């Protein structure tokens, strides 16, 4: 090509020889190399490339079609979202908008900015956090309606009708009248606005209703039926319920347990003489250096939690004793404390205790046998040496027994009945090695009942599964493990409320009969307690009218239709039930 004098170039011509963007520069350099056939070193110097980088550019051009090679380059990263919105965030803070209000305002205008991002911008701009404000000091916005404060002095008992999904809770009221008197005796805290009885009934209502507390309290603060059950104008909110359990001194709970134990007996809940014992770990999710790690069966691992000891009446399937103040070093002796508790309240020791191998030690087994003369049945932790010794015993040493109330496949296990000696146990103890019971390895049972037949001992220990079912019922229905929910409660309070609620369900089941005396709490709740009703307040009565339901005849037969119970916390008005 002919050389061109740069001084003679027009402005339009200079556009081709003096490119201003990367794509144009690449085009002119490649055109000069491939079309004008100029040396690569010369072209690289003219267009500002190194020799090596220009050769790479030529290589890329040869392997990529020209239309794609000269496409506009992609835009680089944009400025962060928070930088684009920075001035708007600052302007809204000058109007006293909180970070949540700033985030909501930007969202309505189509810009997403989370409250933490808004907070970071404000910190970078030197703004301090806003002081806590009253609702009337905040910018106008859509807000939830706040219920009135719980105050027994504001209770309205003027004649009217109230429709409530919690009407079924009033079926427990005749048995709850004793609770107010017991709380006064054990000095539970209260105030003029919310006395002790009203606070405990509010907490107990959540247990009896069987729904998880996290979705229960704040969504029902306007329900008049729930408030009337507690004897208040409105049910207390979660902040009060959390704070109240922290005000109760831990020493008050054992006193309440003892008093309720006696009251439940007077109300018709019988006492058995055989008990199932077990531990349950209530998991803890958080940081607490004082909490110990315990085994959590449902997770099959050890983790931080609160260890609770539970005793269940085997005949009546009701929790009669609980202690949630256990440490590892004390847990083996809790079985002795339960025996002392039972003797203190009944003037005699328990007749029989059935428990797992981890509940106590061989030394305490000796105390139960030699000092207290209490019959017991427990598991023995099997070792490889014990299994090998059992395998080496001749077939003639084993005998088959027949069990009743057991699945047909495992009705005839093989039993090896022995007398053995244990460390720290005086004399001999009876050991039953049971095979063909549905497990891969034999089960080892220890007992001091030397004359009781092997089938009866095996069947009795099999019934111990009932306490595990009762604990599962407590976790599922009474939400024992839900202590990290919206209503954070002290474990002592939660365990005591579980005992009271469990007793109330057992009392109710015995009144109804027809198989409900042994039914799980959730079944009783589903068939009777979960009922929408109309609560009619008159000058002298509170009439709870239930809709027509399949199980209403059982309530009528149990005498609920004839009940006329004066309710102290509702101005002494008589409580009556009517069934559609």
Question: Domain with 12 in it: what CATH number?
Answer: 1.10.10
Q: Do 56 and 102 sit in the same domain of this protein?
A: no
In a domain, 286, yes or no: no
Q: Do 19 and 95 sit in the same domain of this protein?
A: no
In a domain, 87, yes or no: yes
> CA 181, 182, 186, 187 torsion: positive or negative?
negative
> For residue 284, which of 307, 306, 309, 310 has the smallest C-alpha distance?
306
Q: Do 62 and 116 sit in the same domain of this protein?
A: no
Q: Do 385 and 450 sit in the same domain of this protein?
A: yes
DSSP string, 73-118: PPP-PPPPHHHHTHHHHHHHHTTT--HHHHHHHHHHTT----HHHH
What would the two tokens of residue 75 be?
A: 């835009």
**Which residue carries 């720290």 as its tokens?**
424
pLDDT of residue 8: 63
**pLDDT digit string, tens, across residues 396-453:** 899 999 888 666 677 888 999 999 999 999 999 999 999 988 788 899 999 999 999 9
Quick count: other Cβ atoms within 10 Å of Cβ 497? 22
Q: pTM for the full model?
A: 0.75
CA distances to 373, 466, 474, 485 from 281, rounded to whole Å, are 30, 18, 13, 17
Domain span including residue 18: 6-69
Q: Domain boundary at 417, 444, 463, which?
A: 463
CA distances to 81, 184, 264 from 255, rounded to whole Å, are 61, 11, 14
In a domain, 437, yes or no: yes
Looking at the DSSP bridge assignments, the partners of residue 308 are 280
Q: Do 437 and 399 sit in the same domain of this protein?
A: yes
DSSP label at 530? Answer: S
Strands 375-379 and 352-355: parallel
pLDDT of residue 2: 45
Looking at the DSSP bridge assignments, the partners of residue 433 are 416, 444
**pLDDT digit string, tens, across residues 528-578:** 999 899 999 999 999 999 999 999 999 999 999 998 999 999 999 999 999
DSSP-based three-state secondary structure for 484: coil
DSSP string, 402-469: --SSS-GGGSS-EEEEEEEE-TT--SEEEEEEEESSSSSS-EEEEES-SSS-HHHHHHHHHTTHHHHH
Quick count: other Cβ atoms within 10 Å of Cβ 56? 11
Q: Domain boundary at 399, 433, 463, which?
A: 463
> CA 326, 330, 331, 334 torsion: positive or negative?
negative
Do the Cβ atoms of 542 and 567 come closer than 8 Å?
Answer: yes
Q: Do 104 and 132 sit in the same domain of this protein?
A: yes
What would the two tokens of residue 164 be?
A: 């409530």
How many domains does the chain contain in total? 3
Q: Do 369 and 459 sit in the same domain of this protein?
A: yes
Q: Do 46 and 98 sit in the same domain of this protein?
A: no
Do the Cβ atoms of 294 and 305 come closer than 8 Å?
Answer: yes
In a domain, 483, yes or no: no
Looking at the DSSP bridge assignments, the partners of residue 415 are 399, 434
Q: Do 371 and 455 sit in the same domain of this protein?
A: yes
In a domain, 133, yes or no: yes
Q: Do 65 and 88 sit in the same domain of this protein?
A: no
* Sequence-distant (≥ 6) Cβ neighbours of residue 131 within 8 angstroms: none
Cα gap 265→255, rounded to integer Å: 16
Please state the φ and ψ torsions of residue 565, each to the nearest 5 degrees: -100, 120
In the predicted model, residues of the chain with pLDDT beneath 50 are 1-2, 79
Cα gap 157→164, rounded to integer Å: 16
* Sequence-distant (≥ 6) Cβ neighbours of residue 539 within 8 angstroms: 159
In a domain, 233, yes or no: no
Cα gap 409→239, rounded to integer Å: 54
Looking at the DSSP bridge assignments, the partners of residue 565 are 575
Q: Domain boundary at 407, 430, 463, which?
A: 463
pLDDT of residue 19: 75
In a domain, 33, yes or no: yes
In a domain, 112, yes or no: yes
> For residue 387, which of 448, 459, 440, 460 has the smallest C-alpha distance?
440
Q: Do 373 and 443 sit in the same domain of this protein?
A: yes
pLDDT of residue 466: 66
Q: Do 49 and 95 sit in the same domain of this protein?
A: no
pLDDT of residue 5: 60
């Amino acid at each position: 090509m002919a050389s061109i004098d740069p001084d003679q170039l027009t402005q339009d011509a200079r556009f081709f020889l003096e490119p201003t963007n990367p794509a144009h520069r690449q085009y002119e350099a490649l055109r000069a190399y491939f079309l004008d056939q100029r040396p690569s070193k010369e072209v690289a110097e003219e267009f500002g490339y190194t020799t090596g980088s220009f050769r790479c550019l030529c290589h890329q051009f040869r392997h990529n079609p020209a239309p794609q090679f000269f496409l506009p380059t992609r835009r680089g990263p944009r400025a962060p979202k928070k930088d684009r919105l920075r001035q708007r965030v600052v302007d809204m803070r000058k109007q006293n908008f909180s970070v949540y209000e700033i985030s909501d305002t930007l969202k309505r205008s189509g810009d997403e900015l989370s409250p933490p991002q808004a907070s970071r911008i404000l910190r970078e701009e030197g703004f301090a956090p806003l002081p806590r404000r009253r609702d009337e000091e905040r910018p106008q916005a859509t807000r939830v309606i706040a219920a009135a404060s719980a105050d027994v002095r504001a209770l309205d008992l003027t004649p009217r009708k109230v429709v409530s999904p919690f009407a079924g809770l009033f079926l427990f009221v005749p048995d709850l009248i004793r609770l107010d008197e017991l709380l006064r005796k054990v000095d539970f805290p209260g105030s003029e606005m919310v006395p002790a009885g009203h606070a405990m009934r509010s907490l107990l209502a959540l247990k009896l209703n069987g729904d998880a507390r996290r979705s229960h309290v704040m969504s029902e603060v306007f329900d008049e039926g729930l408030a009337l059950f507690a004897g208040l104008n409105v049910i207390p909110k979660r902040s009060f319920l959390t704070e109240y359990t922290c005000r109760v001194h831990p020493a008050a709970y054992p006193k309440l347990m003892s008093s309720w134990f006696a009251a439940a007996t007077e109300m018709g809940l019988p006492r058995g003489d055989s008990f199932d014992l077990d531990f349950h770990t209530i998991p803890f999710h958080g940081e607490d250096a004082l909490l110990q790690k315990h085994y959590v069966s449902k997770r099959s691992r050890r983790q931080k939690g609160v260890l609770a000891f539970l005793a269940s009446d085997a005949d009546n399937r009701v929790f009669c004793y609980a202690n949630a103040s256990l440490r590892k070093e004390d847990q083996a002796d809790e079985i002795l404390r339960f025996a002392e508790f039972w003797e203190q309240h009944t003037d005699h020791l328990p007749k029989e205790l059935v428990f797992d191998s981890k509940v106590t030690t061989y030394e305490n087994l000796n105390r139960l046998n030699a000092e207290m003369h209490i019959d017991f049945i427990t598991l023995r932790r099997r070792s490889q040496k014990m299994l090998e010794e059992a395998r080496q015993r001749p077939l003639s040493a084993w005998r088959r027994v027949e069990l009743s109330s057991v699945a047909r496949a495992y009705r005839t296990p093989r039993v090896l009945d022995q007398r053995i000696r244990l460390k720290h146990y005086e004399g001999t103890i009876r050991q039953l090695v049971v095979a063909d019971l549905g497990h891969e390895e034999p089960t080892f049972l220890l007992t001091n009942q030397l004359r009781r037949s092997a089938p009866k001992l095996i069947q009795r220990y099999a019934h111990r599964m009932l306490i595990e079912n009762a604990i599962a019922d407590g976790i599922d229905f009474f939400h024992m493990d839900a202590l990290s929910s919206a209503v954070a409660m002290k474990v002592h309070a939660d365990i005591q409320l579980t005992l009271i609620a469990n007793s109330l369900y057992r009392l109710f089941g015995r009144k109804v009969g027809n198989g409900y005396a042994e039914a799980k709490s959730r079944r009783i709740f589903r068939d009777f307690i979960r009922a929408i009703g109309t609560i009619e307040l008159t000058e002298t009565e509170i009439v709870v009218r239930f809709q027509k339901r399949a199980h209403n005849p059982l309530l009528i037969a149990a005498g609920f239709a004839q009940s006329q119970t004066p309710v102290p916390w509702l101005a002494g008005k008589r409580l009556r039930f009517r069934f559609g």
